[in-house]
Amino acid sequence: MSQNIAFIGLGIMGLPMAKNLVNAGYNVTGYNRSDKAGNELAAAGGTKAASIAQAVADADVIITMVPDSPDVQDVTLGAEGVFANAKPGALWIDNSSIRPDVAVQLSDAAREAGLRPLDAPVSGGEAGAIEGVLSIMVGGEQADFDAAKPVLEAVGKTIVLVGPSGSGQTVKAANQLIVAANIQALSEAVLFLEAYGVDTDAAVKVLGGGLAGSKVLDQKAQKILDREFTPGFRLALHNKDMGIVTSAAREAGVVLPLGALVAQLVTSTVASGDGALDHSGLFRGVQRLAGKVEAPVPA
């Protein structure tokens, strides 16, 4: 008999992940604050729940995929939350990107409620979620990771246990630092190339074949060249993640000079009104600094 999976949070990433679980043969019950996403899941073969309690009641595995630390706390704690309504022994997998210290606190609370917690943030954006090839960095116990791996393999390709609870979120913070720095550098490179009238399509092609090549270049360069910033991962969320990076670095007594600068640049771009754009919209921040900003892009 297939496992029952509750999926809480059917957003840009969560909905395609839940659909992939349905396609893998799992019984998926989803809950989302808006009805539209729940209806889409139901149309794909899943079940729409009216509440978190209803979604998790019979679940063997519970997945949460919501924007920020307070959101995870909201859906897990309290009388109507996951911990109070899930059956003992269920796996709780948090695919959200949140603060490592909050992940540790919630993992402790989950264990007290009789659940088996894993913090398992993902990387790969909307495209990776749709294609089921996300990179998943997992914190928790080995036995729980082993039990959850078949489920994670339905939504991801690179799945690694990186340490105890909270470790997955720490690695995700490092991931977001690297991605933001890469997008910022790519944005500056494109502006530089355009200033000299270079064939940017040709330039991107040759850069991709050398040491400058990266997944960021592959996935984001064309969006920048086309000025097409429909969100696969919103700048506002990346700004939140960079806040996690800088806060965690301070707590550890680690100095991140580039990270601090990139975090400021991301915050500035969001503050200028571009938070709803894809994080490749960092290019607009580079344009502003150069005095070359173009007309606002509709959100």
The catalytic residues are 172
Distance in angstroms (rounded) separating the CA atoms of residues 118 and 103: 9
Coil, strand or helix at 48: strand
Task: Please name which of 3, 172, 10, 140 lies closest in space to residue 75, comparing C-alpha atoms.
Answer: 10
Q: Are 136 and 121 in contact (CB under 8 A)?
A: yes
Q: Would you give the DSSP letter of residue 26?
A: -
Provide the b/e sequence for 67-80 (b: ≥16 CB within 10 Å): bbbebbbebbeeee
Q: 167-195 vs 100-112: helix axis angle to the nearest 10?
A: 150
Helical (H) or strand (E) element with 171: helix 167-195
Q: Are 127 and 135 in contact (CB under 8 A)?
A: no
| Sign of the Cα pseudo-torsion (282, 124, 179, 224, in order) | negative
Distance in angstroms (rounded) separating the CA atoms of residues 283 and 294: 11
Q: Which residues pair with 91 in a beta bridge?
A: 61, 116
Task: Please name which of 3, 11, 19 lies closest in space to residue 131, comparing C-alpha atoms.
Answer: 19
